[in-house]
Amino acid sequence: MADFHRLPVRIQETTQDQLGADEQIMLCTLGRSSLLNPDFVVITSDRVLVLEERQMGSMSASYINIRCNLSFSQITGIKLDQSLKHRIFGQAALEITVNGDKHLINNISYRDAKRAMTLISSCCE
């Protein structure tokens, strides 16, 4: 689990811009879509945010990409998946279903994935 205040400043600012006035941050963790670009997963009292910092070509400029911004009211299903590779490294993939579309948060620590699944399941009911 990551501490929100230790996330990169631009990730914190973008997250704060997306939050409503009464939302609280419940869980922050890291997923890995690639080795050098982690996914910053923030679960609030109302939504799941997945952000990443991307580089623009060979320039040193970067920007924040919001990969996923799902309200709990949109989520129709959630599933935890562990392949052999995930088991070896103590990781999992969190699959969130929204109206037939699937959003995959890959290579998240197994413990954080279980906690995220519990939070999302309890808030969706």
Could you confirm whether domain 4-124 is CATH 1.10.1740.10?
no
pLDDT of residue 27: 92
More reliable by pLDDT, 22 or 56: 22
Q: Where do the domains of the chain lie? A: 4-124
- Tens of pLDDT, residues 51-92: 998 887 766 788 899 999 999 999 999 999 999 999 999 999
pLDDT bracket for residue 38 (50, 70, 90): confident
Torsion over CA: 90, 116, 9, 73 (sign): positive
pLDDT bracket for residue 13 (50, 70, 90): very high
Single-letter code of the amino acid located at 121: S
- Tens of pLDDT, residues 86-121: 999 999 999 999 988 999 999 999 999 999 999 998
Residue 49 to residue 59: CA distance in whole angstroms: 27
* C-alpha dist (Å) from residue 101 to 43, 68, 92, 116: 19, 12, 19, 19
CA angle, corner 37, sides to 115 and 86, nearest 5?
A: 45
